[in-house]
A and B are shown apart, each in its own frame.
Chain A
Amino acid sequence: MTAENPPDRLVALGRAIARPPVVAGVERTSPMAGLERRTVGFVDVLAQSIGAVAPAAGTATVPALIAVQTGSGVLIAVALAWLLAICVGATLNQFALRLAAPGSLYTFTTKGLGSGAGFAAGSGLLVGYGFIAMFGVVGAGYFLQSFLGVLTGPWAAAPWVTAALLVGVGAVCFGVLRRGIRLSARVTLVIEFASLLVILTLLAIVLSRLSPAQLAAPLTAAPPAFGGVIAGTAVALTAFVGFESAASLGREAARPFLSVPRTIRWTVLGVGAVYLLSSYTQLAGAGAFGIGFDGGQAVARLASDTDVAAIGTVLDLGLAASFTACAIASLTALSRAVFTLGREGVLPRAVGRVEPLRKTPYRALALVVPVTVAVPLALHLAGWSPWQSLEFLIVVSAAGYLLAYVLATAALPAFLRRIGEASRRTDLVACVAAVGLTAVLVTYLAVSTASEPVAVAVVGGLAVLAALAYVYLRLARSRALARAGMFDHTTSSDLLGGS
């Protein structure tokens, strides 16, 4: 026995185990009580982030969108966006290591910079998640319609089919989300990996048919203009957004301080690699087959040009599923943010209720899902094509996301100083992320003013609305604002000797 004895220095630990100390300031329940706690496994947490990013949908559509900005600079833009996303992920992970917050970036910002900046980040986050969810609904409807068209012929192109599909996708999302986080996460993950597999297979087929000269072409392209690259980086970054959404499962995740940061890190790294590979393949393939990069159909047209049209049809279904997964994951994160705001009293308290048996924030869901369907439906009724709607929605969403990212990354140094854990390395990474994001946000809005003036106007309108809402809260509900920053803190059952 003596040889295996640990050193004497565990004396205090032994005493603490025998007589657990009384810990002041720890309550029995957390302000986030009602949501499931510490039950969702790592795979499901990973599914949340992957679903929100929707790499399959991003892979298929984003290279084309980047090419509009920066012709030959697509690869550089994707690589830059990847680097920036890694910095943002590392910065947000410093928060995710320390607090489990369903309000994710909203709560992080509030903890660092106070309720004013927090409210701005929260508004950005709601817009980001909300519009990306609409993006998912429209995209799912669009590719489903395309799939139905191949199967059944021209009647599937009728406007009422579009409307019915939008409502149908929304209903599916609501049903899955209401059933609980585990089902939504599983559905998301299966969908996303299946569609990603289809796309990667297709890309592998394309690559295998190219000559060495054609393979080298994307790498030897003429150097792009600097402004175009920044604009392209901004667009490329929109394909990454959502990677942070695992943070919204802070309460629901088992071992959240492990699974959430790991998910964020893996998602950014993996998704970036897939984007780089697929952008390269699409560039090489499009160059070789003389396909233009427009209408977001590059992948499908590569499919038909390489005699694998059947894959193209399956791809429509896979993309529809991927967009649905994106909508589900974004609505998950959105509903948790709305739920947090309801618990704090910043939004009406009713949206902070949960369904007792399923432990899902059904009031928040009942609020956000109808809006998510109503806006795309309105755009459809106004005569916009699905592709127009997608371009509009992604711009608004990206602006919201980028604002939330900027504020949350800028909040980290203040937060770490407050708890006495600042370090030069985290400060530096946060600074790089915040400055880079600010540059991207400004460029993105400037570029979009020309291509999507309506979207930029909507962003401006939403900003004014948020400012007015903040003024109202300061005047009428300052106590709710003072409560802002609620998170799933340690409860007595987490403590040694707790029950």
Chain B
Amino acid sequence: MAGQDAGLTGRQPGAVHGALAVLEEVARAGPGVTAQQVSAHLGLPRATTYRLLNLLVQDEYLVRLPDLAGFALGHKVALLAGLAGVSGPARASDQAAAAHPASASAPAEEPHEIVVELRARIRGGVHLASFRDGVLELVDVDPDFPLSDERRLLSDLSSSALGALLIAERRRDPKPFAARATDAAPGRGCFAAALRDPAGALVGGIALAVPAQRLAEPEALLELIEPERRRLEAVLR
């Protein structure tokens, strides 16, 4: 049980690497991964793995699930956002952005300008999302209309119009738009229009936060944003 003290000394550099590797493995394998699986995947000795896992649980970077065998990422992992956020290019779009250092940290400049124009024209929130790799990611959230529940939007696809677009795509039943009432805010709703590349694959979505009664005529909403939608498709391809 050595090494449980909070102070990190230069004598234990391996422990830091080990801990990061364990965190990454839990993230990669997904919630419910067991100590034995982590040990096997990383090729770490079991005793070392148990000690690292228990250390990370002590510091709340990991949590044990109620069955006590499985692990999941804990709330403290959010503190590592900076560390993981610069952890190397993961996506094609990031690689393109990296080629232009000025725009590396912000969403690509062009789509942002289009979205700003759309926001100036429309009464309501306008958000831009990416569906690259088949996962929903918010690229450009309207600063004047914060999302009611961003976490839920990202984790529960059925809760939002953007998520509904992605679900339809996964079911091989592509839709040009989707609309949903917002559970968290009665009387409000969201509308999302698909952005597709020339091959027809779903790459992104524009979401509008509007009063629920406007969802009754989604075609009108689609019509309303059509110019900007086309321009976005053109820059995102």
Contacts and interface: CB of A to CB of B under 8 A. Distances in A.
Interface of A: 1, 5-27, 90, 93, 97-99, 111, 255, 257-258, 261-262, 265, 418-421, 423, 425, 489-490, 493-499
A14 B74 contact: no
B63 A490 contact: yes
B156 A22 contact: yes
B103 interface: no
Given A418-B69, A496-B75, A12 B28 contact: yes
A389 B87 CA distance: 67
29 contacts: A5-B88, A6-B87, A10-B23, A10-B83, A11-B87, A13-B80, A14-B87, A16-B27, A17-B77, A17-B81, A18-B154, A19-B154, A21-B73, A26-B65, A90-B1, A93-B1, A97-B58, A98-B57, A257-B57, A258-B59, A421-B35, A489-B65, A490-B64, A490-B66, A490-B72, A494-B63, A495-B72, A497-B78, A498-B75
Contacts of A20: 73, 151, 154-155
Nearest to B54: A97
A13 B86 contact: no
Contacts of A255: 58-60
B32 interface: yes
A25 B68 CA distance: 12
B68 A419 contact: yes
B20 to A, nearest CB: 7
Contact of A496 (B54, B77, B88, B137): B77
Contact of A22 (B34, B46, B136, B155): B155
Contacts of B74: 494-496
Nearest to B57: A257
B64 A15 contact: no
Given A6-B87, A11-B88, A23 B65 contact: yes
A412 B3 CA distance: 22
Nearest to B50: A421
A13 B58 contact: no
A15 B90 contact: yes
Nearest to A420: B36
A8 B87 contact: yes
B200 interface: no
Contact of A98 (B64, B78, B81): B64
Contact of A9 (B24, B47, B77): B24
A362 B136 CA distance: 48
B32 A24 contact: yes
A98 B67 CA distance: 11
A97 B68 CA distance: 11
B154 A16 contact: no
Contacts of A27: 66
A21 B155 contact: yes
Interface in B140-157: 151, 154-156
B122 interface: no
B13 interface: no
B167 interface: no
B107 interface: no
A11 B46 CA distance: 24
Interface string B102-137: 000000000000000000000000000000000111
Given A5-B88, A10-B20, A420-B34, A16 B73 contact: yes
Contacts of A22: 155-156
B187 interface: no
B61 to A, nearest CB: 9
Nearest to A16: B27
B31 interface: yes
Q: A-B pairs with the 10 shortest C-beta distances? A: A14-B84, A12-B28, A10-B87, A489-B66, A496-B73, A419-B69, A258-B58, A8-B88, A12-B27, A23-B31
